[in-house]
Amino acid sequence: MATATNDAQLSPPTRRYSASKRLLPYLLSLPALLVCIGILIPFFTAVFYSLQRFRLSQPWNRSMNWGENYLNFLSDPDFWNTLQISLTYAFLTVGLELLLGLAIALLLQKPTRLNNFVSIMLLMPLMTAPALAALMWKLMTNPNFGILSYFATVIGFDDMRWGASPDTALFTVILVDIWVYTPFMMILLLAGLRSLPKQPFEAAALDGVPKIQQFWRITLPMLTPYILTASLFRLLDSIQQFDIIYALTQGGPGDKLMVFQVEAYLNFFQSTNVGRSAALLMILWALTFFLSNIFIKNWLRLRERARGEV
């Protein structure tokens, strides 16, 4: 009797305890869920807008047009130009920055005082806001007083028009991008190089493997996960480039540099065409998602291979 009474008295707290225990994981994940919702609300709002005919200057015309904004892109030469120039810009900048960053990282691989000092100095451009860097380059390429224009004249390019000419505009903005972002590649790859295990290199040296063979057969394969990570970060950033291009040329001359972000920005802020601007950004998101998936799958495959799981 006494036991039964005790059981009865004990059972409600036990139930409360088990209920709390069941709720605990949900409570713990609630902040993450709220942050996730906070991130997804603007995203789905943009998806919603992209399915609308929506111009701020013509509120009476606002209506759902479902996929019409996207379908219009198929027959719109401006859109294909934007896609082409965005991809060209992204792959050229990432490729060139990777080569330069790797070369510099190899030169600075040995952790001497001088190399450490130089690597810190080389990070300076990365600390400059890209829009400011673009304005600085705009001054340096000014035909009247720009130092780069002067050097161009000295080496025989008398009529070098940099960002003002359709022939050299892409080259100019890529040059600025390389100046700003190569240090990012360099620092990631340098960290990778310095963390590589020494044994394979010592063994190769004992076997008399030439340095160049060591690079191709040992360094590069072991560095590939770092290369993929650095390239992924840069690719995601580069395909969404805005500030350098807008500050230097506003997307011109003509339509030469109308990349996604510039096109979407002008559509929203200048034309107040919210529907088209949102649809462009959705395409950019899909493109970014697709490219990052390729990179991440390759990165995982390489990691599994490194662990001997494949």
- Pick the piece of the chain touching other proteins (CB under 8 A) from 50-58, 113-121, 180-188, 224-232: 50-58
Binds other proteins by CB under 8 A, chosen from 40, 56, 121, 147: 56
- Binding of other proteins by 253 (CB under 8 A): yes
Give the C-alpha separation, 89 to 111, whole Å: 34
Binds other proteins by CB under 8 A, chosen from 73, 81, 122, 143: 143
- Binding of other proteins by 162 (CB under 8 A): yes
Binds other proteins by CB under 8 A, chosen from 67, 272, 289, 294: 272
Q: How far is the CB of 60 from other proteins (least distance, A)?
A: 8
- Binding of other proteins by 271 (CB under 8 A): yes
- Binding of other proteins by 225 (CB under 8 A): no
Q: How far is the CB of 142 from other proteins (least distance, A)?
A: 7
Helix extents (H) in the chain: 2-50, 68-74, 77-107, 113-121, 130-140, 147-154, 169-195, 199-206, 211-214, 220-238, 243-249, 260-265, 274-306
**How many CA atoms lie within 13 Å of 303's alpha carbon, on the beta-carbon side?**
11
| Cβ closest to other proteins, residue 163 vs residue 183 | 163
- Pick the piece of the chain touching other proteins (CB under 8 A) from 80-88, 112-120, 162-170, 186-194: 162-170
Residue 1 burial (C-beta neighbours within 10 Å; 0-12, 13-18, 19+)? exposed
- Binding of other proteins by 65 (CB under 8 A): no
- Binding of other proteins by 80 (CB under 8 A): no
Amino acid at 301: R
Query: Residue written as tokens 């190569």?
Result: 182
Give the C-alpha separation, 179 to 122, whole Å: 10
Other CB atoms within 10 A of residue 27 CB: 9
Binding site for other proteins (CB under 8 A): 55-59, 61, 138, 141-144, 159, 161-166, 248-255, 266, 269-273
